[in-house]
Every structure is written in C-alpha cells, then in structure tokens.
Amino acid sequence: MSVTSPSPARVPDVMEGLAVWPASARPAAEGDVTVAGVSLAEAADLFGTPLYVLDEGEVRNRARAYRTAFPDADVIYAAKAFLCRAVIRWIKEEGLGLDVCSAGELGLAITTGFPAERIVMHGNAKSPEDLETAVRLGVGRIVIDSLSEIDHLTGIVPRRDPQQVMVRVVPGIAAGGHTKIQTGTDDQKFGLSLADGSARRAIDDILHRPQLSLVGLHCHLGSQITSVEPYVTAVQRMVGLMAQVRDQHGLELLQLNIGGGHGIAYRPGEQSLDIGILAGRVRSALEDGCAEANLRVPRLTLEPGRALLGPAGVAVYRVLSVKRTSGRTFVAVDGGMSDNPRPALYGVRYVPRLIGRHSTAAPALVTVVGRHCEAGDILADAVPLPGDVRPGDLLAVPAAGAYHLSMASGYNLVGRPPVVAVRDGAARMLVRRESLDDMSRRDVGL
C-alpha cells in the first residue's frame, strides 16, 4: 500500500522539534509529519487509529550501527521489545542474532525462517515447553537462570548432542531507569548471585553434566541505562569470575554476554547511551582484565532491544474528548494503557505532537489520557499542546517502537492496534488490527 506524502515544506509549529523521532521524520504542510516519506495523517486515515508506524530504514540503520561499533561481537536482538515476522526478517537480513524468552517467540522466529543456531533462549522461569522446544529446534545457546533449570535441561538433552549453555550471573550492580527494570542487583528474580556463591554452584553443577556444554557467562543489568560505567564494572566482575573458573576447573570460558538495556531518549534533551563510547570502554575493560588475569579474551555478545526498535516507532492516536476541570485539561485519546502500559508501570513520560492540522493557538499544558477505566491510564502528563486541541485531532507519540505492543493487553476488550511499516514513501501492513471477532473466538464458555 502506498500513501502519498504531502509537500515537505517546513511549517512553524508549537512542537516543531523532532529530536526523538525517527531520523527520516520531517515537518510537512498543514502541521503534518512524514516518516520515511509517508504522511502520518494520511496513514491514520487509511489504517485507522490507534496506529503504530515503524520506520524500517531506522531499524536497519540502527542494527548496522551496532555491527559497526562491535565488529567482533555477536549482536543479538532482544525480541521482547517487539516481535513480528517482518522484524524477524529485518534482523536476520542485517546479520543479527535473536534473543527469545518463550516457546511462542521461538516458534514465530523459526517459522519465519530465522536460523536456530543464531537464537539465544532466555527467561527466569522457563516452562518445560520452553526448554523442550528450544532443545528440539536446536537453539544455539540457553541461558541458565536457576539451579533447578540445570536438572530439567539435563533430563531432556541427549548425551550425544550436548546443549550449549551460559550461566546468568547477578553481578550486584544497580543500573536502570526505574527500580522495576533493574536486574543486576541481588534483590530481584533474575539470575544467580555472584555474592552468595550460587553462580559458582551452578557452574560447578553444569560442568558435571555431560549433556550440557558451558560456553560462557551472561549478565544483564537492567533497562534504560544511559551510562557506560555499569557495563565496565560488570565486565570487570565477570572477568574475575572467569578467572576463578579457570583456576578451579582448568576451563577458559570463551563467551561473555553483557546483555542489553541500552537507554534511548523519549523526550528532547534526554540522554541516550552512546554505543560508540560503550564499545570502546567495554573492549578496553575486557582486554585489560583478561591480560591481568592471563585469560584469552572471550567473544563478546550484547542484546539491544529498545535501542533498535524504540526510536523507529511512532504511535498515532485520535482525540476523543477534551475536558477542562479543576484547573487541568484532560485530552482523551482512542488508545491508552492497553497498547502502552509503560507510563502506568514505570511513570515513563512522552511528548505527543499535534499532527494533520496547523494551529496558531498558544500552547497550553495538558494531560493526555487513555480511554480505559483506570485513573492511572495517563499517556503524558503536563505536556504542551496547542490550546485549541479538540476532538478529531490526531496526536503522534514518538519513541514508541519498543515495549508498547509487546506488553499490550485486552483490557476493556479494546483490540490491539495495527503495525504499519514505512519505507521510501510507501506504507504496508505488518500486523493487522485485533478485532472483536479475534477476541470472541477465544471465549468458548457458552
């Protein structure tokens, strides 16, 4: 499907900045914005709202930037950020691997033609189905997250064909944009602690299992991290553990996975993680640490998710009502926490932009809310929009490509929005809108 783009003429606007939008975004006539040459207002008219627009070129360029920054590493896309068949194909074509957390994500990848050997299976509580599917389909590596998982995996892997595994180590580092997404500390559900010795016990146990081949260590510090320092510290602590394994067992582990969690900017002026600086500092820390410990430098793996997909996405909503009460203005839209639970979960803040209509009204601070029966269904609080915003207007929310639809729900039986890819002035449907019929088919109670 093609959407004709309007004139690219630059039009003054109360929210003119596009700093956190896809690089292809351009202001256009009548207050519109184009992404990859496609008018968002016309896309909303064609596909309906709410609508998620994903810039294919932005995703591919970000994947290439990672491969350039880390030429000697395995770059693995964290599928939990957002997964569909088209994204799987883009990731495959750009030479990245894939990190999955369930038999569902794994099955979608395999049936789309993604090579099993380039897949890593994650998860703090993998089900028997998850592990059995991973072994049956031949995933490249499984990350061990608990001692009990070692027993279960041993029971399903044939001795003649050992499964490559890594141990997820908790390095005792607090990093991340919110306490709910910090996973490198000892007081959360992920991994095996370095401090209490459980990581060492897991390593010892695996090395006595002929069905399992321990190839390296893994750690993941959290999400929305914008500083390089936590990764440097993590590398130093992981190299220390590798040296202990070598000294105790005579085994040099040749892979080190430092996870992802690379932060992006959701609002103009916010910081994002510089992957060029990250690559240089991590490589130096790894080489220096291995030289000091007399270890061979392991092959590095990293798992960006949000940093690849987040900045490539734009959500488009239609205003349903404007309510001025108790000194506040509430602008209600036709989506909300069912397609983006992140503000309710983590207090994330966005900057919506009026599109499809040029306004000369002075900006006013408003609260953009969703349509759901929760007081916490707030998409953006105290953000400037034209003072004449009204029902029928379109609002676009940038940095919407990750952890929106992947965490979407069926709350209030509001169907999940479609996903449209844009590239070279054309738009095509990737994931269709979820209909009432789709949801009704699961209800078999009559």
101 is catalytic: no
Closest CA to 294 of 357, 239, 334, 212: 239
Nearest in space to 78 (alpha carbons), one of 279, 306, 273: 306
C-alpha–C-alpha distance, residues 106 and 93, integer Å: 17
DSSP bridge partners of 182: 222
What pairing do the DSSP bridges indicate for beta strands 313-325 and 394-398? Answer: antiparallel
Query: CA neighbours within 13 Å on the CB side: how many for 389?
Result: 31
The terminus-to-terminus CA distance of the chain in angstroms comes to 40
Residue recorded with tokens 């306004």: 359
- Exposure string of 124-146, with b = 16+ CB inside 10 Å and e = fewer, is eebeeebbbbbbeeebbbbbbbb
Distance CA 45, CA 194 (A): 54
Pairing of strands 51-55, 419-423: parallel
- The helix, strand and coil proportions of the chain, stated in percent and rounded to the nearest 5, come to 30, 25, 45
- Within 10 angstroms of residue 199's Cβ, the number of other Cβ atoms is 25
* Residue 261 vs residues 169, 178, 192, 270, 428: alpha-carbon distances, Å: 16, 12, 19, 16, 29
CA distances from 10 to 17, 19, 30, 315, 416 (A): 12, 15, 10, 22, 33
What CA–CA distance (Å, rounded) separates 327 from 209? Answer: 66
Gap between the Cα atoms of 74 and 86, Å rounded: 21
Which of 101, 219, 290, 373 is flagged as catalytic? Answer: 373
Active site residues: 373
